Structure 1
Amino acid sequence: MENITYNGRLNKVLQLLIELSRGNFSYRLERSDKRDELEALSAMVNIVAEEIKDSFLHQGYVNMHDSYMHMVQMIFFLDETFKITYINQDVTKLLHWENSELLDQPMVNLLEKKSILKWVDLTKSLCSDHDFESEMRLVFKTKTNLQLPAYCKIVDLPQVENSIVRYMLISSDIIKNTKLYERKLQSKILKQIRLTKHKHPVEEKSFLNISDLETFRAIGNFLKNNLDKSAPSLQELAHEFGTNEYKLKKGFKELFGMTVFQFLKNERLRNAHVLVKSSNEPFKRIARQNGFKNATHFSREFKARYGYTPRDLRANS
């Protein structure tokens, strides 16, 4: 029996690795109270999945392609007893359940243990307050034994005669907007075609050469590796890496799509987000490790970036 349980847990790890290889970074492994090597591996794989997702999103923001967008992912319509009456195609795509397996099933059947407790409390509030609308983080169970954390909103819908639909639950995520990127690429190619037909096409030259690229990448790595240190001035950075302040300001923004100090702030918040979510470190220590003046300053900047506080994130992780 113990070997069967171990093999089942191992298969879940392999399933998550397969999803990661397909570019699906939103899934996670269910944690257990066991203290063996496989549980340590599960924790590590979850952290890696989180890091990869954060890195991809960060890279999208850095390159300024506008190639990531916030959009509705899953939609559930529920009746007054919170049974599923309708789902969109993304539900079956992400959770791997067939449409027929979910319709008329209680919503609670799709949730992991901790989320069930949240859901029960929420449904009580919904039943007592008909104008109630709430947002919360729920963790869904997939048919392949993985977990899908998602920030959700549930709305009490206006009542329509003879309609069995009472509530709507939607989840959202930041995903790759390939169509937008393809349109931009198409526009760029058409522009180049028009320029070649002109007698004297205007050639757009980058401000950077190969040596500059290496220098600014080195500066980016230096900033990432010294998040706890006070931010050096542009003059100090330029002198340290053998360039000048003007080239640093212009070239760094051309390469990363943001100023040096925007980049540093971005990295500090991204690193802090991972620590808040995957560790029990006090917020004061996390703030200090990432170069913030104090926990209050850290919490304010964190909420401005993510829309929720470090305390909210940890309470729902």
Structure 2
Amino acid sequence: MHREINQKRMHSIRQMLLEMASGNFSQRIVRTEEDDELESLAVLINMVAEEMQETLFPKGYINTHHLQQSLNTLSFIVDENFIIHSTIPETYLVLNYDTTSLEGLEFVKILTDSSSQNFDRLLPTILLNEKVSTLSLCYLTSDQKEVLSLFSSISKISNENRFIIHSILADSTESDNNSEDVNSAFRQPKTRRDDARLMQQVYDYILSNLENPLPSLKELSKIFGTNEHKLKEAFKYFFNTSIYQFYNDERLKRVHLLIEQTNMPLKSIAYMNGFNTYPNFSKAFKKKYGYSPNDLKRDNDNL
């Protein structure tokens, strides 16, 4: 019986560490009456999470409506040693690198020291994960400025010893404005702040499940314990886009990079990114980019 209780406590600690690795510092491990090393570890982890939450998210509130208007996306294709094979044009602009200096570079070289150490520590878990690993990454520009990601995911490319790293981050030039917006937004009614936290969870859930078809609004509302109307309207309010449009835009960005930088069949890319049929995928791709997937030049020479 005692062993079973300890296993449950270990599970809680492990779950907490996973939440922190994905950037969620609001969760806490429930304390017990025990006075042992496990309890000491739980207390320490809770303290670290509290400090991180205060440091990264003052007052525990993120003004997502403001951030959505200044979001940047970084995407990388890396090999099994996490050497950068290719990236998207936005990466060079955001990180201030010339167009050839990133290829062949170790991915950890463009992270801050603390983020690099955290990445190395999580790497064994990332390599074992067959699905998507989520974590928080802090990038370093060529002129040594820090750029914190709001959300990052790492997923293995099917049948290849390569990975795709995808990060969403806010424009660092907006930081001063963000601080002012956070303070003013926090003065809003508690119900609005609660809505913001809920929508942040929905946002993170979508980014963690881009490879799956998007659940219906009814299913999503059940998952997050709210009603369909509130879910639809609140997401639109905070992120300035619909749930489906956000999901569709993010997976199409991922698809575009996979087509350019891998030799995977187009149908496989479509299915592994949540499209039920190839015609639906082709139609959505052409609508967003103005050309069909077949028209996109593939970088097979470097594979």
Task: Give the structure-2-normalised TM-score.
Answer: 0.39
Task: Give the structure-1-normalised TM-score.
Answer: 0.37
